[in-house]
Structure 1
Amino acid sequence: MNQNKKSRIILRVYLILSSLLALDCLLYFNRLISLRGYYSDVVLYWLWFLTSFAVIVIFWKKIMAKLLLGGIILAIILSILPLMMPFYAWILSTTSLGLMIDKNLNEKYRAQIVSYSAMAPPWLEVIEKHGLLEKRILKSTDYQLMNDNLNIKIRTAKDIIFNHETDSTLTLTLFYGGPNKTITFNKNNGEVLKIKTN
């Protein structure tokens, strides 16, 4: 296989990865739908990021390769300037550093405790699986789950346990080793209906 053909194959792979990443971001920000599992989005991003540099090296003589490199460097610099907040969000969301707990609750649901900000506390997400895709159906913060015990926070949970569900509710227990929090959510709007400390 000659060099020209290899370059075209790498460019095609890069364009496919770029399209998949753009579609993944668009679906997540508009519909809360992403690829199944926490690491699938991370792997897709890093494949795109590393392939970007392969394309830059291979097509360095072209102006578009230089513009791509300039765009990547400029995006990183701009994310660092405002107190590094976007930079932290980028690092925490594209690595496992932002993931505290990832738990398959059953064949239908997955739960995770994540934090993509240096300023905001971690939050709980419940995700519904749909084959290769999944959709976030619930997101709860410490503020929503606070009741009589202010020391029991999402970030200190050791496990997430599925209790039961009905057509309109989903009940989980945040396990701390005692006391634990059992929370009933409305599946339609994500509101907390009931919190029981046990």
Structure 2
Amino acid sequence: MKNTHITILYSIVSLIFLTEVILSFNHYSFSGYYTDKIINWIWLAMTLFMIIWFWKKKIMKAYFVFLAFTILLSMLPMMIPFFALVNYFSTLDDYQQIQLDDTYRIERTRPNVLHKPQISVYKKEGIIEKGIYQTPYLFIVEKVFQDHFTNDIEGENQPIQKARLVDVNKDSIGIEYEIMNKKTIFYHKEKEASEL
């Protein structure tokens, strides 16, 4: 009876985890920055617990081999899928999170090892949120300073002091950024996602 309850609980957590993975492929996630991270870590901890608890069963040994093999395979192509997994489960390369209002928030982040830092704008829709715009952070830094930094890395490392929602249209969102005590309004638009 106890094993049945544990298995049902693990199935529910796994279903929530899989829902989150499917949502992320469509630029959605559960609302809030830490929600996905908490779900990931609960699933990982429960997976380790299940493997240890049911280790004598052949199916659990096969499940463990499958998970280990998947992680090893992700390391083969220059470890890019592996680092994508690490980024998905951790806050690595997530530099800042700013809540603009009850509906919109932004993150200054680097989605994976091949990307440069970017601003991701999220819109809350009930218990989920959608990533609606992704803009290279350097575009915003250049707009704030009206010229190029002599060193792009220096520009990308400048933190956002403040961000304020200014305007929301059907095809763009205006946010006032303050970086190094300079302010400007930047309009995020759909086309920027293709420029990444």
Q: Do they superpose with TM above 0.5? A: yes
Number of residue pairs the alignment of both structures matches: 185
TM-score by length of 1: 0.82
- Whole-Å separation in 2 of the counterparts to 1:85 and 1:37: 26
TM-score by length of 2: 0.83
Q: What SS does the aligned partner of 1:42 have?
A: helix
Mapping 1:21-100, distance limit 5 Å: 21-30=17-26, 32-100=27-95
- Whole-Å separation in 2 of the counterparts to 1:175 and 1:71: 48
Question: Structure 1 residues 103, 59: CA separation in 2 closer, same or farther (over 3 Å shift)?
Answer: same
Aligned to 1:172: 175
Q: What SS does the aligned partner of 1:92 have?
A: helix
Report how far residue 36 of structure 1 moved.
0.7
Report how far residue 104 of structure 1 moved.
0.6
Report how far residue 112 of structure 1 moved.
0.6
RMSD of the alignment, in Å? 2.3
**CA displacement, residues 65-97 of structure 1 (integer Å, 9 cap, x when unaligned):** 011111121122122222222222211221111
Aligned to 1:196: none
**Which residue identity is paired with 1:33?**
Y
Report how far residue 144 of structure 1 moved.
5.1
Unaligned runs of 5+ in 2: none
Percent identical pairs in the alignment equals 23
- Whole-Å separation in 2 of the counterparts to 1:174 and 1:105: 11
Question: Structure 1 residues 38, 158: CA separation in 2 closer, same or farther (over 3 Å shift)?
Answer: same
Report how far residue 20 of structure 1 moved.
1.0
Picking from 9, 15, 19, the partner of 1:19 is: 15
**CA displacement, residues 19-50 of structure 1 (integer Å, 9 cap, x when unaligned):** 111111112213x2210111111111111111
